[in-house]
Structure 1
Amino acid sequence: MAGILAWFWNERFWLPHNVTWADLKSTAEGSFPQAQDLYLALPLALCILLARLVFQRFIARPCALSLKIQANGPQRAQPNAILEKVFTAITKHPDEKRLEGLSKQLDWDVHTIQRWFRQRRNHEKPSVLTKFCESMWKFTFYLYIFSYGVRFLKKVPWLWDTRHCWYNYPYQPLPSDLHYYYIVELAFYWSLIFSQFTDIKRKDFAIMFLHHTATIALLMFSYINNMVRVGTLVMCLHDASDFLLEAAKMANYAKCQRLCELLFIIFSLVFISTRLGLYPTWILNTTMFESWEIVGPYPSWWVFNLLLLLLQLLHSFWSYLIARIACRALARGKSGKWNPLHVLKDDQSDIESSSDEEDSTVSAAPNRRYIGATNGTNGYLSGGVYLEEH
């Protein structure tokens, strides 16, 4: 074990040439990031989970009810032992041949059986009230952490001149507010991992789990080797659009059509401008070129930049999806059916209709996520938007 730890914490991988871990020990003159600081995120994540429960019960739920969002879930299928056995033991999505066989066996028409399976699949789907409360919690956190990041960054020199991310690197003291910013972001993603096992399980469980794991890994990576200055820029840049997406989802759940449209447009503009404009010209420019001039490359520098480049590829793909969906929504708008979120499936819900009238409507917007679990490379993406066409 000692040999494994020594290999993992090899200074020649983590730190620039001629820098050792002893050089970065905190002293009375200045505090530097320490790996053991990251343990603070675990108890804080539990506190965030508790805060979420209180928030959703006493704040989000009353707000949802005041907006007349119903607490009832999808219509439940009537009990039927034969269909239940097929559903649990054979398939949740029977093909045409099986449907015809069940129709003859039960003397039901095929459409009724299809509806039964659709309703049965929806038994464990969250209600609109549940989804609204979850989105309101995420909206509140994302708005708070983005506001905090802006207030913090406007006071530091590296926001206005990114070369300050690398001057005197890695001997850059860690201010208490920067430490708080990092630990709270990290704790929030730990809380998302924990809550996945208690929340209603959705079809993207594995993808979101990988996304949150990768986010945590990259936050920890940049903290350990003291790349926290540029890390704060990346976090704040990605946080800029997350709360807008959650706000659009809440407006959609509350059936505020015009507000939903406006928020989606703003989200799309902010997302594309930050991910395709600011990210490469501001973030990648400083991590790849300015750092090369001031600090020079070393092993963990290559890894960090590789991950950021892969993230840029994901940004391009996600922006393409958003633009394509927006164009289709605009095309529908010409016929009086403009609603960008109606050309999207909720990435976390996979909602299916429980009645004929609902068959043609998909409720909810994309999310957190936003995009991305393939975000395995995105250590700072606060959300993940998985966009699917209607």
Structure 2
Amino acid sequence: MASPTVGGQYLPARLRPFIFLSHPVERPSHSSIQSSSSILWSRYYRIGPDDFPLVIGWTVIMIVLRWITLRQLKRFAHYWLARSDPSDPPLSDAANVNEGVVSNTDGAATAVMTNGNSLTSRKSLNRDVARERTATRFAEQGFSCIYYTLAWCYGLWIHTAIYDSVLDTKSFWLSHPHIPLPAPVKFYLVLVFTYYSTQAVILHIEEHRRDHLQMFTHHVLTVLLLAGAYATYLTRFSCAMFFIVDWCDILLPLGKMLKYMNIPVLPDITFLIFTVSWFITRQVLFFRLVWSVTFDMPVYLPLDWNPAMDHLVTRKGWIFFTITLWTLQVLLTIWFYMACKVLYDVFRGKPSLWRIGVVMMRGRARSR
């Protein structure tokens, strides 16, 4: 019999599915995973209906953690902006991207015009609004940078301690179904699903921006793709996919943060590294995964509905995965072309990478 969840005894039974992994099972006698000596947490789990409350619970936790992180990062951003130029902090170009001109953002600016110091007061008001906007953008990008850094490191550990390779795509299908799951793998997939669910909710709660529809569409596609892969036990493929594309999503918010802080040169260098990384991870490695799904999956995986054998991927499911992944690959190629245009313009002596590049790459679509 599987051992109880660690820490579960401290919570009421009704709350445990919202916090802890559910459906524990015994360690399988034959497993495609590396030896247990390389696994820090030897518990195994199946996929089941109690995973839905787990996603809800960790979505709430993620929202709370995001709120706390944003508050702390905004404090740091205000401190940095005041420290860099307390008398007249420069307005970062990035703070105005997709946001329009900051002046006259509320009725207070008109009221200030009635006194003799209208020009000074108006500049001060605009400066405060710009600083607040910059601090907010800095905090948002900071949370993304922190999440993707932790998620990428987590994925790196999974593909070194648990799975033997991220590029052996045929093993995704030959060893299918990948159940039961080691606890770190199941929690990793739940964490990724939770993050994108959270981002989709936040996009509707917070102020809509120009790329709202693009980002919301991206998050919905990612959630659907991950949910479909999770439900059909394509967990090896899911882990590899997110690990490959997470690296670029560390560099993009990092570069934006450096720009918001008005640090010279480093944002452009970061964008250059980001573009090179994009080509390697999303135009080469991600393409390899898409190719494997398209051509290897129907060869090595029986596309028939057989729940008794845990074969849940049908031909219609394969078509869904193929179309979704190729659509995302096309989007990635379009965004990569835009990034290359930015680099080319800079080499010709045109404006900074990040004044143009942040606009173009806001969609960044991790394209899972």
Could you give the per-residue CA deviations for residues 161-180 of structure 1, whole angstroms, max 9, x where no partner exists?
Answer: 22221224225321111111
- Structure 2 residue matching 1:309: 3-state secondary structure: helix
Q: CA deviation at 1:310?
A: 1.7
Aligned equivalents of 2:229, 2:321: Cα separation in 1: 8
Matches within 5 A, 1:32-47: 32-47=46-61
Identity of aligned residues (%): 19
Aligned equivalents of 1:344, 1:71: Cα separation in 2: 20
**Structure 1 counterpart of 2:244, from 237, 242, 264:** 237
1:159 matches 2:166: yes
Structure 2: where are the runs of 5+ without partners?
Answer: 1-22, 29-44, 96-101, 111-121, 304-314
- Structure 1 residue matching 2:210: 3-state secondary structure: coil
**Structure 2 counterpart of 1:340, from 349, 353, 365:** 353
With over 3 angstroms needed to count, the CA separation of the structure-2 counterparts of 1:126 and 1:305, relative to structure 1, is farther
Aligned equivalents of 1:160, 1:46: Cα separation in 2: 34
**Structure 1 counterpart of 2:140, from 110, 126, 134:** 134
Matches within 5 A, 1:10-49: 27-30=25-28, 31-49=45-63
- Structure 2 residue matching 1:320: 3-state secondary structure: helix
- Structure 1 residue matching 2:190: 3-state secondary structure: helix
- Structure 2 residue matching 1:166: 3-state secondary structure: helix
Q: Supply the RMSD in Å over aligned alpha carbons.
A: 3.3
Could you give the per-residue CA deviations for residues 247-295 of structure 1, whole angstroms, max 9, x where no partner exists?
Answer: 1101111111211111000000000121111122x31243233333321
The 8 Å contact of residues 76 and 123 in structure 1, kept in 2 or not, is answered as no
With over 3 angstroms needed to count, the CA separation of the structure-2 counterparts of 1:71 and 1:181, relative to structure 1, is farther
Could you give the per-residue CA deviations for residues 323-362 of structure 1, whole angstroms, max 9, x where no partner exists?
Answer: 11111122126xxx5x211224547xxxxxxxxxxxxxxx
The 8 Å contact of residues 45 and 190 in structure 1, kept in 2 or not, is answered as yes
- Structure 2 residue matching 1:127: 3-state secondary structure: helix
Aligned equivalents of 1:211, 1:243: Cα separation in 2: 17
The 8 Å contact of residues 283 and 333 in structure 2, kept in 1 or not, is answered as yes
With over 3 angstroms needed to count, the CA separation of the structure-2 counterparts of 1:56 and 1:269, relative to structure 1, is same
With over 3 angstroms needed to count, the CA separation of the structure-2 counterparts of 1:154 and 1:28, relative to structure 1, is closer
Aligned equivalents of 1:283, 1:180: Cα separation in 2: 22
Aligned equivalents of 2:328, 2:217: Cα separation in 1: 15
Matches within 5 A, 1:344-355: 344=357, 346=359
Matches within 5 A, 1:215-294: 215-280=222-287, 282-294=288-300
The 8 Å contact of residues 35 and 224 in structure 1, kept in 2 or not, is answered as no
Aligned equivalents of 1:140, 1:223: Cα separation in 2: 25
The answer for the alignment partner of 2:364 in structure 1 is 370
- Structure 2 residue matching 1:172: 3-state secondary structure: coil
Structure 1: where are the runs of 5+ without partners?
Answer: 1-24, 84-115, 348-365, 373-377, 381-390
**Structure 1 counterpart of 2:192, from 160, 177, 185:** 185
The answer for the alignment partner of 2:221 in structure 1 is 214
Aligned equivalents of 2:290, 2:107: Cα separation in 1: 58
- Structure 1 residue matching 2:266: 3-state secondary structure: helix
Q: CA deviation at 1:26?
A: 7.0
Matches within 5 A, 1:44-83: 44-66=58-80, 68=83, 74-76=102-104, 79=107
The 8 Å contact of residues 73 and 138 in structure 2, kept in 1 or not, is answered as no
Aligned equivalents of 1:198, 1:148: Cα separation in 2: 29
The answer for the alignment partner of 2:325 in structure 1 is 308
The 8 Å contact of residues 49 and 191 in structure 1, kept in 2 or not, is answered as yes
Aligned equivalents of 2:265, 2:130: Cα separation in 1: 30
The 8 Å contact of residues 165 and 230 in structure 1, kept in 2 or not, is answered as yes
Aligned equivalents of 1:296, 1:330: Cα separation in 2: 51
Q: CA deviation at 1:77?
A: 5.6
Q: CA deviation at 1:187?
A: 0.8
Aligned equivalents of 1:168, 1:331: Cα separation in 2: 51
TM-score normalised by length of structure 2: 0.70
The 8 Å contact of residues 284 and 308 in structure 1, kept in 2 or not, is answered as yes
Aligned equivalents of 1:29, 1:341: Cα separation in 2: 50
The answer for the alignment partner of 2:6 in structure 1 is none
Q: CA deviation at 1:233?
A: 0.9
The 8 Å contact of residues 229 and 235 in structure 2, kept in 1 or not, is answered as yes
